[in-house]
Chain A
């Protein structure tokens, strides 16, 4: 099992450009999540998807959109990147039976100039 994979690993954008961060998991998990990590702020939830076809806003959804393409894939889109979106983005997934932890991908380091 590869677990949770993310592409790309690094990206530099100019203000106003758009891009999509890709995430896939091969653990047959129902729930998937997107977080951003900023120094001194921990991880903050951007969006999550409890199941295929459903998405919900997290703590910091402004400026982002998501798509739960199928059970495996959950993408995060920045339509018009801003310097405030410079961050490290992590995708995670979780099985929903009972109480279980989230499994994290390797992250995407995004810089917006």
Chain B
């Protein structure tokens, strides 16, 4: 069975600090990869996704993620966080053309102003 690991459960940063959230998955075949964000009191929104092609994908609000197939990783990055980035971030994976997502446990990011 697939599994997704997010290494940090809580991250606290000051505004303007750089962010990197780790995500590793266990499935050996072709995968689709996603990062979702959940702002306080809101539902999940898609930040970015990778299906194929350039392994460096850019999403909304200045976020990007790099797919490294050899490391089974899809880490999320942002060069300079803002207070408004305070949220919970979820990495999710499904098999190519599959219809079920497997989520990581989530990383709660708090940005101090």
Contact = CB atoms under 8 A, between A and B. Distances in A.
Nearest to A40: B105
B71 interface: no
A36 B78 CA distance: 28
A99 B97 contact: yes
Q: Which of B32, B34, B96, B101 has the most CB of A within 10 A?
A: B101
Contact of A43 (B9, B32, B45, B103): B103
A101 B103 contact: no
B43 interface: yes
A42 B103 contact: yes
Contact of A42 (B49, B97, B105): B105
Contact of A90 (B9, B32, B43, B100): B43
Given A99-B32, A99-B51, A101-B34, A45 B44 contact: no
B1 to A, nearest CB: 9
B113 interface: no
B46 interface: yes
Nearest to B44: A104
B13 to A, nearest CB: 20
B101 A45 contact: yes
Please tell me the size bucket of the interface on A.
20 to 34
Contacts of B103: 35, 42-44
Contact of A106 (B43, B49, B92, B105): B43
A48 B99 CA distance: 9
B101 A102 contact: yes
B46 to A, nearest CB: 5
23 contacts: A33-B101, A41-B105, A42-B104, A43-B90, A43-B92, A43-B101, A43-B103, A44-B103, A45-B101, A90-B43, A90-B44, A94-B99, A96-B99, A98-B97, A99-B32, A99-B97, A101-B34, A102-B101, A104-B36, A104-B44, A105-B43, A106-B43, A107-B43
9 interchain residue pairs of minimum CB distance:
A42-B103, A104-B44, A43-B103, A42-B105, A106-B43, A99-B51, A104-B43, A99-B32, A42-B106
